[in-house]
């Protein structure tokens, strides 16, 4: 192998004929090094393209200035907005972000937690896979005193800081809006049975029906497995066969709602007059498709930024006081009314 060209403290010291200690002190701005010497060291460091070895530095301070984030899927608009928020805030505070995606797979998530622990990250932000609940590897993060913030897809059984929205209230708002515009028979294309946000949105749907004395009918609830466009399309087809008189659909997320819109458009079923549709999340695409989709705005970017700030608070609390903060921040959602529910 070619000889390494990487300049070291030693090479700077040799060039100036001074000690390595003096070079090190000069670079750190210690006052017992004369300004003249300091300037010489800085000039040579610049000339040699010297970069401090942060692994060595971190090894001393025991901070890696790196955090890890594990999320189900990067390509989802909502999750990429979260990442965006985390990265922007982390960059501002000179932290690095290692991003890993679990692909909604518990085994993968476990492996990733272990990798992050072995990488000695300063803290971890996670949005759980649909399969995860009170898993041992999540408890291990707590046992090892590693700061942890759960975001959006959380487990109530893990005692740590969380950044969430009130999914139940947001779903209530969506379904309440459908009822207010005159819908009497509302279907819910829901998420899988395990994740907390899927449960809470379903409960919000039920509560809104209750609130208006509309009896709950379980045959109007269709559970997605992958929460994708195709399921939205196929369940709407099945729904229109099972219940031709349905007049409203509340979908677990915009992607599923867009699948529903496409099926209804293909069948020339009038939206919203025959069937009104509302989604959840407010993806960009929802504002440009036709008809434009009503939805719940979920502030992904802000959630990501908040999650980093909360993690930072955790990291400082662990370092200074040896204890967790364990705070839950609930961010507001907004009902966005567009063409798909404007009768």
**Distance of alpha carbon 338 from alpha carbon 69, whole angstroms:** 34
- Selected range binding a second copy among 29-37, 94-102, 153-161, 164-172, rule: CB under 8 A: 94-102
**Residue 100 interacting with a second copy (CB under 8 A):** yes
Task: Decide: is 96 part of the binding site for a second copy (CB under 8 A).
Answer: yes
Site for a second copy contains 265 (CB under 8 A) = yes
Least separation, in Å, of the C-beta of 261 and a second copy?
8
Cβ atoms of residues 141 and 117 within 8 Å: yes
The number of angstroms, rounded, from the C-alpha of 87 to the middle of its chain's C-alpha atoms is 11
306 is written with which tokens? Answer: 């908040």
Q: Could you tell me the CA-to-CA distances from 168 to 165, 237, 301 in Å, in that order?
A: 9, 27, 21
Among 58, 105, 238, 274, binds a second copy (CB under 8 A): 58
Dihedral-angle region of residue 152 (phi above 0 means left; psi in -120 to 50 means alpha; beta otherwise): left
Q: In angstroms, rounded to a whole number, what is the distance separating the alpha carbons of residues 340 and 15?
A: 72
Per CB under 8 A, does 97 bind a second copy?
yes
Interaction between residue 120 and a second copy (CB under 8 A): yes
Q: Is 54 in the site for a second copy (CB under 8 A)?
A: yes
36 binds a second copy (CB under 8 A): no
Instruction: Give least dist CB 109 to a second copy, A.
Output: 12
Question: For 67, what's the count of Cα atoms within 13 Å in the CB-facing half-sphere?
Answer: 28
Nearest to 232 by CA among 284, 171, 152, 286: 286
Q: Which is nearer to a second copy, 60 or 343 (CB)?
A: 60
Near a second copy by CB under 8 A: residue from 31, 218, 219, 284: 284
Asked if 240 contacts 267 with a C-beta cutoff of 8 angstroms, the reply is yes
Backbone angles phi, psi at 13, to 5 degrees: -60, -45
Interface of this chain with a second copy, residues 16 to 35, rule: CB under 8 A = none
CB atoms within 10 A of CB 18: 16
Q: Which is nearer to a second copy, 176 or 294 (CB)?
A: 294
Virtual CA dihedral for 16, 22, 28, 32, nearest 10 degrees?
-120
- Name the minimum Å distance from CB 115 to a second copy: 7
The answer to whether 281 contacts a second copy (rule: CB under 8 A) is no
Q: Is 326 in the site for a second copy (CB under 8 A)?
A: no
| Residue 183, CA distances (Å) to 90, 156, 159, 249, 251 in order | 45, 33, 40, 9, 15
DSSP secondary structure code for residue 162 in this structure: E
Q: Which of 18, 27, 42, 99 binds a second copy (CB under 8 A)?
A: 99
52 binds a second copy (CB under 8 A): yes
Segment contacting a second copy by CB under 8 A, of 107-115, 195-203, 241-249, 335-343? 107-115
Task: Provide the total of helices (H) and of strands (E) in the chain, helices listed first.
Answer: 12, 12
3-class secondary structure, 276? strand
Cβ-based neighbour number of residue 14 at 10 Å: 12
Least distance in angstroms from the C-beta of 283 to a second copy: 8
Among 319, 328, 330, 334, binds a second copy (CB under 8 A): 319
Q: Is 5 in the site for a second copy (CB under 8 A)?
A: yes
> In the complex with a second copy, which residue's Cβ is closer, 37 or 265?
265
Contacting a second copy (CB under 8 A), which of 33, 38, 41, 101?
101
70 binds a second copy (CB under 8 A): no
- Residue list 213-242, contact with a second copy (CB under 8 A): 229
Return residues touching a second copy (CB under 8 A): 1-2, 4-6, 49, 51-56, 58-59, 64, 66, 74-75, 77, 80-81, 83-84, 87-88, 91, 94, 96-101, 108, 114-115, 117-120, 140, 143-145, 229, 258, 261-262, 265, 284-285, 288-290, 319-323
């Amino acid at each position: 192998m070619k000889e390494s060209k990487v300049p070291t403290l030693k090479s700077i010291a040799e060039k100036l004929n001074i000690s390595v200690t003096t070079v090190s002190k000069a670079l750190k701005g210690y006052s017992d090094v004369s300004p003249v010497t300091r300037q010489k060291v800085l000039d040579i460091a610049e000339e040699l393209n010297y970069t401090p070895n942060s692994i060595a530095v971190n090894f001393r301070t025991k901070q890696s200035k790196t955090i890890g984030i594990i999320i189900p899927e990067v390509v989802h608009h909502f999750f990429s907005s979260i990442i965006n928020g985390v990265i922007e805030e982390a960059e501002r505070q000179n932290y690095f972000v290692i991003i890993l995606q679990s692909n909604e797979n518990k085994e993968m998530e476990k492996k990733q937690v272990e990798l992050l622990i072995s990488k000695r990250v300063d803290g971890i932000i996670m949005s759980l896979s649909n399969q995860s609940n009170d898993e041992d590897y999540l408890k291990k993060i707590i046992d090892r005193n590693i700061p942890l913030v759960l975001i959006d897809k959380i487990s109530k059984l893990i005692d740590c800081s969380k950044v969430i929205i009130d999914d139940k209230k947001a779903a209530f708002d969506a379904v309440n809006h459908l009822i207010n515009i005159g819908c009497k028979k509302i279907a819910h294309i829901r998420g899988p049975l395990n994740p907390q946000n899927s449960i809470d949105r379903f409960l919000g749907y039920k509560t809104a029906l209750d609130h208006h004395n509309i009896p709950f009918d379980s045959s109007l609830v269709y559970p997605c497995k992958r929460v994708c466009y195709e399921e939205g399309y196929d369940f709407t087809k099945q729904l229109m066969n099972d219940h031709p008189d349905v007049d409203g659909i509340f979908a677990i997320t915009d992607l599923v709602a867009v699948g529903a819109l496409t099926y209804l458009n293909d069948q020339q079923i009038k939206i919203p007059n025959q069937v009104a549709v509302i989604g959840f999340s407010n993806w960009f695409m929802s504002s440009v498709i036709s008809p434009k989709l009503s939805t719940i705005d979920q502030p992904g970017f802000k959630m990501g930024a908040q999650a980093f700030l909360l993690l930072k608070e955790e990291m400082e609390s662990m370092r200074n006081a040896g204890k967790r903060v364990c705070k839950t921040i609930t961010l507001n959602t907004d009902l966005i009314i567009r063409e798909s529910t404007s009768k």
